Structure formats: C-alpha cells, structure tokens
Structure 1
Amino acid sequence: MLFFSYSDTYKLITRVNNLNRGGITMESWNIIFTEKQKVEVQKEAFDPALGQTEILCAAIRSLISTGTELQCLRGVFDPNTNWSDWVKYPFQPGYCMVAEVLETGSEVKGVQKGDRVFVAKSHNQFFKIDAQYAYPLPKDVSVEQGVWCSLATTTQLGVRRAELQLGETVGVIGLGLLGQLVTQYLYLSGVKEIYAIDPADSRLELVKKRPGIHLLAMDAGKAKEEIKHKTNSRMLDVIFDITGHPSVLAQATQLVKPLGRVILLGDTATPSAQGMGSNVVSNSVSILGIHSLMDYKEWNHPEMTKLFLSYITQGRMDIKPLITHRYSPLEAVEVYDSLVQNRSSAMGVLFDWTAIKS
C-alpha cells in the first residue's frame, strides 16, 4: 500500500497494484447511477499515468447537488433536451468536489502537489483531470466551503442575468441549495425587499433573518395574494424560479408587475409540460434563462468563483448553516434513497471521502 498525506489531521490509504515498471493501476470507489433509480458504489481500477497538463487527485469532500442529481437519478426527460443528451446510464453524478493534488504532469503550472483544489468532478475517490479545470483554494477557505463553488457561480449567473437595480423588490421560488445562495446574493445586491417562497418550513428556517426578507411558507401558486397584499398591489420587479418544476413558470409570471422579469434558473427536464402563463404578453413580462456553463459579459467562472470566496472570507456570505448531513461515500445507496423519499429533510449533503480508510 501507498500512503498519501492530507492536510493537518488525517491520511487517506489507497491501494496501488501492479507496481511494475510497465504501469500502475489505482483503485477508486465511485458512485454510479447504473440505470434509472438505481445507485451503486463500485470499486474500479484506472491508470493514474498523467499527461503533461494533468493532475492526479484524491477526493476530500463532495457535495450532492440534490436537485440536479435526483433528476438524473429519476431519469424522466423530454427528448432533445440538455438532460436527455447529458444523462446516459451508467452515469456518474456530481460536480462539486474539493480534492488534494497527489501528482502533477510535467507541464502543469499554477497547481502543486498538496494543493486543495475545487473541481467540477463526479463523486470519485481518485481521478485525473486537466489542471486548467482545477481551482486552488485559498488557505483561509475550508474544504467544506470550497465544495460550493459550482453552485455559487451558477447562482451568481442568475443574479447577474436579472441586472438588478437598487431598491427593487425580488422573489425567490424554491429554497433548496440554489435558492439559499440566490437569496444571500440578493441581499448583497441592494434590493429593497426579498420574498423567499417555499412550502417547507425546514428550508425557510435556513434563510438568515434580516430586515427586508419575507418568508412565505407556501407554494408559488398560493403566493400571489400574499405578495399583492404586502406590496400594495405593485407586485415584484423580479422573480427567480429555481424549482425546475414545469408548472411553476406560469405561477411565477403572475407574481411580477408589468415589465417585470422572470429568471429561469431551474431547467425543467420536461419542457413539454411547461407553460408560460396567461399574462406574459399583456403585461410585457420578460422570461430570462441562464445556464451554468455560460459566462456573463466580462464575468467568467474563475472570476465569479474568486468573488464568491471573497464574500465567504469576509463573512458576507455563510454556507455553514446550509450543511445538514455528512456521510461516507460507501453509504451512497441509502443517502440517495433518503433524498428521493424526502428531499426537503436535507440541504447540504456532503460525502466525506476521508472516511474510506482503504
């Protein structure tokens, strides 16, 4: 066995077989959706030999993107959508990972052995990746803060797409992982009031109580009268639909004033069931989509990641209360089953890869 050192307090043991000069084979525990609604944790061998610009990494923590990953597991997609093109079984879920760099290729620059890096990588114990896709974490950012970088850039894109102005009144439908981050960004953006909408009290309780934030424990269809009352019939300037549920868009368009904006940050897997509502044309409502793989104007993903981490280190954003569960990756079958049964019972669910001792 070879032992690879980790930061400060722990070591991770990995098996390295066939230590002959002709090649090295490493074994990695990987989480796989083998088919619709079926999760397995499999140990697989791979060749760790590096290309010139690649790095070899050992996972430390990974975050389950509950909305996206459960949709991938459910496997219900309209044809000719991003979902149907992307999800092919067997499918490796996940894209929120902090890992330690074990080795680097001969031409890698900016990343060194021992660095902690964020990578948009699936739930794998060991893996290779081109160094250009690894973001070294600053020393004052913890591993459990770093795993949020993908979701933080996705939500930052949504807030940028809205092109908010000081004093606007904004709503957020769906207070899962993305909704929680959007709400924090909105508060930093100088909006006058925020209406956080979700029927699950457990999610509303995770929104930090601040002046100007209104918590509505209801679904979007029931929020119209409450918002109408609280805004003296003016309604909202902007609403974010982060649910990915096809029925919510039409409900969201009812919550904004004439010339209001609806930001679609949740990409439904069944757009054939999605309607835009009866008042979009008559009220000149804008429906603005945004996808996580895009940049926005001069803001690219590394710059948005840097900004998010600066907010974290300054204490202006806080994800610690959003982490509700930690598990060994070997418990993945039970973890996903629990989320399928009751997704609202959890928020930030982490896999601790250091829990695997060999």
Structure 2
Amino acid sequence: MIQTLISAISAGTELLFLRGQVPTDLEIDSAIPALNGTVRYPLRYGYACVGCVTRAGEEKDKDWIGRTVFAFHPHTSHFIASTAQIIPVPGDLTPHQAVFLPNMETAVNLVMDGQPGIGERVAVIGLGVVGLLTVALLARFPLESLLAVDPLPQRRNLALAMGAHVALRPEDLTERATYDLVYEVSGAPVALNTALALTGFAGRIVIGSWYGLKQAPLDLGGAFHRSRIRLLASQVSTIDPRWSGRWDKKRRIDVAWTMLRSVDAERLITHRLPVEEAPAAYRMLEQEPEHTLQVLFEYPSLGSL
C-alpha cells in the first residue's frame, strides 16, 4: 500500500486524453501495468506518483514500509502495487525531484536516440518539461550551438538558464537547413515543418512528441526528397536496439536519477495544488499555457492522517 505524497501532470499527454484526441482502439500504455487496457472514458490517468509505503502484505516485503518510492501510476491518494512496480527513491533526492523521473528518463532516451556529436548544431523545438530537460542534458555536450524554439517567453528564458545558446520564437527563425540534429517535442505536428526547414543535408530529426489524433500537412515535396534527412521516432517505453545489448530500463533509470541530482528540475514547477483542485489545474494548463509548466498535485501528508 502506497500513500501518495505528490503526483505530476504530464501536460502534453494528459491534455490529449482530456480533449479526447487519442485513438480509442489504442492500448492506454501496455508498458505500465496500472494503465493496461484500451481507451474508454471515464478513465484514470497519470504516470508520475511519489509516495510512502504504509503497509505490506508479505512478510518478506515488510522492509519496504516507510520507504519513499516512485510508481508509474495514475493520480490517486492511495494505491496497491507489487514491489516490481515501485522504484525506491534515492535518499539524496527529494520527492519534488523524484516526481520528474519519467520526464528525465524520456529526456535521456531522446539524447540517446539522437546521439549528438562533438561540434554539432542542435535545435530543440518545444520547451515543455521534456523539452527543457532535453536542453539541460544537451548543454553538457561540446556542441557548436544549441537552439531552443518555443512561442512562450517564460519557457525560452528557462531554456537559456538551462544552457541553450539561443532561444527564439518560431516566427523569428532565420537560419535554414544548417542543423545536424533537431528534436521535435512540441506536441504540435505542424512543428515538423519547422524541423525540416532547420535540418541540413543528411541531418536527423528525433520526434519525441505524441500527437494522438492531431494531424498537419507536411512539406515533403520540396527539398526534403533530396535531403536524406532521417526522421526518428523516439518513445521511452522501449530501448533502441542499438543500445539494448548493454542497456535495460534499470540502467536508463539510474542515469535519470543521476541527471536529476545535477539538473535543477524543480525550477520548472509553477503550481502545487491539492488534488481536489484537479479541474482548476487542467483548466490552467488548457487556457493559460504562458503561466503554467509543471503542475503538481499534493496529497495529505502522513502526519495529518
């Protein structure tokens, strides 16, 4: 039995479900036991809970009691999970750091899939939580330039603080076809046209967004045909076969914990609300994206029960 302390809204994905913009014949998430099954409303969603183990049914599991753990589980005050479904939070990380584990693991996966090289020009389109964490990781590489692109000024300022060399609005982009590696993590399929315009000959575009049912026309009839640009789908539930001989999910999560120790992810938190105010939280994310980034639900602490 886990009592949740905080859970994080994954705005891009959760708003797709909220708006009904996901294929109804799709499994919600086959990689997460708590989200098994097809899309059927009403449904419980979310996948970033940090809580405290309060009870254990098996004698061999009693040493889990009192431990702070992470679980890929929908927003809820209490839940039951097997020990295989919970991840101990390292003692030197706070719950507010640990709740970023899924986003940081996704950022690690994006960097691994893109394989940035020394001296490369790299751009990140879309500066939500995943985009900003990806910027923070890419800033550690010896790149020639690191461009961040987003229409919202708050997010561009955060990108600069996290290591981007330049942060621009999409309409202010003047460079064309000069980037070796471009990440598209905006959640807007039309942004792929921006990515195509930025990517040079034989460059690569890593698509980390999930668009659900959203579509947009793509400009594949011009320079793209002769450009040898590679479009790479990147999704964190699996590991690219290039790495899977030596990497498993545990190793990648260990790297994500390490990155959370050195990247100030907590600066991305804009709102902390009691879970009872969930409707207001989703309205803010829907209607006021310029003021909201990472929204957390907070639950009654153990001491208040």
TM-score range, shorter chain: 0.7 to 0.9
Other-structure match for 1:243: 186
In the alignment, is the contact (CA less than 8 A) between 2:26 and 2:39 conserved in 1?
no
Find the aligned partners of 1:294 and 1:335 in 2 and give their Cα distance: 30
Q: What is the TM-score with the length of structure 1 in the denominator?
A: 0.75
In the alignment, is the contact (CA less than 8 A) between 2:23 and 2:212 conserved in 1?
yes
- Partner residue of 1:309 out of 234, 254, 257: 257
Deviation per CA, 1:128-155, whole angstroms, max 9, x where unpaired? 1121121101111000000011111112
Find the aligned partners of 1:127 and 1:274 in 2 and give their Cα distance: 43
- Superposition map of 1:275-354 within 5 A: 275=218, 277-278=220-221, 279-296=223-240, 297=243, 298-313=246-261, 315=262, 317-354=263-300
Q: Which has the higher strand share?
A: 1
**SS at structure 2 position matched to 1:160:** helix
Other-structure match for 1:71: 16
- Decide whether aligned partners of structure 1 residues 146 and 111 sit closer, same or farther in structure 2, where only a CA change above 3 A counts: farther
Mean CA deviation greater in 170-179 or 295-304? 295-304
**Shift in Å, 1:347:** 1.2
In the alignment, is the contact (CA less than 8 A) between 2:104 and 2:260 conserved in 1?
no
Counterpart of 1:114 in structure 2: which amino acid? G
Find the aligned partners of 1:183 and 1:111 in 2 and give their Cα distance: 38
Find the aligned partners of 1:74 and 1:289 in 2 and give their Cα distance: 24
Find the aligned partners of 1:108 and 1:277 in 2 and give their Cα distance: 58
Other-structure match for 1:58: 3
Higher alpha-carbon Rg: 1
Does residue 197 in structure 1 map to residue 141 in structure 2?
Answer: no
Other-structure match for 2:32: none
Find the aligned partners of 1:110 and 1:249 in 2 and give their Cα distance: 50
Other-structure match for 1:18: none
Counterpart of 2:199 in structure 1: which amino acid? V
- Decide whether aligned partners of structure 1 residues 274 and 127 sit closer, same or farther in structure 2, where only a CA change above 3 A counts: farther
Find the aligned partners of 1:333 and 1:183 in 2 and give their Cα distance: 30
**Shift in Å, 1:196:** 0.3
Counterpart of 1:305 in structure 2: which amino acid? I
Other-structure match for 2:205: 262
In the alignment, is the contact (CA less than 8 A) between 2:4 and 2:49 conserved in 1?
yes
Find the aligned partners of 1:204 and 1:112 in 2 and give their Cα distance: 41
**Percent identity among equivalent residues?**
25
In the alignment, is the contact (CA less than 8 A) between 1:172 and 1:196 conserved in 2?
yes
Find the aligned partners of 1:267 and 1:105 in 2 and give their Cα distance: 38
**SS at structure 2 position matched to 1:98:** strand
Find the aligned partners of 2:179 and 2:154 in 1 and give their Cα distance: 25
- Decide whether aligned partners of structure 1 residues 266 and 108 sit closer, same or farther in structure 2, where only a CA change above 3 A counts: farther
**Shift in Å, 1:312:** 2.9
Does residue 185 in structure 1 map to residue 132 in structure 2?
Answer: no
In the alignment, is the contact (CA less than 8 A) between 2:125 and 2:182 conserved in 1?
yes
Does residue 138 in structure 1 map to residue 82 in structure 2?
Answer: no
In the alignment, is the contact (CA less than 8 A) between 1:92 and 1:123 conserved in 2?
yes
Find the aligned partners of 1:91 and 1:106 in 2 and give their Cα distance: 30
Find the aligned partners of 1:190 and 1:255 in 2 and give their Cα distance: 20
In the alignment, is the contact (CA less than 8 A) between 2:160 and 2:166 conserved in 1?
no
**Shift in Å, 1:111:** 6.2
**SS at structure 1 position matched to 2:81:** strand
**Shift in Å, 1:105:** 3.4
- Decide whether aligned partners of structure 1 residues 346 and 271 sit closer, same or farther in structure 2, where only a CA change above 3 A counts: closer
- Partner residue of 2:69 out of 110, 117, 123: 117
Does residue 214 in structure 1 map to residue 166 in structure 2?
Answer: yes
Q: Which has the higher helix share?
A: 2
Find the aligned partners of 2:230 and 2:10 in 1 and give their Cα distance: 28
**Shift in Å, 1:175:** 0.4
In the alignment, is the contact (CA less than 8 A) between 1:153 and 1:301 conserved in 2?
no
Other-structure match for 1:90: 42
RMSD of aligned Cα (Å): 2.4
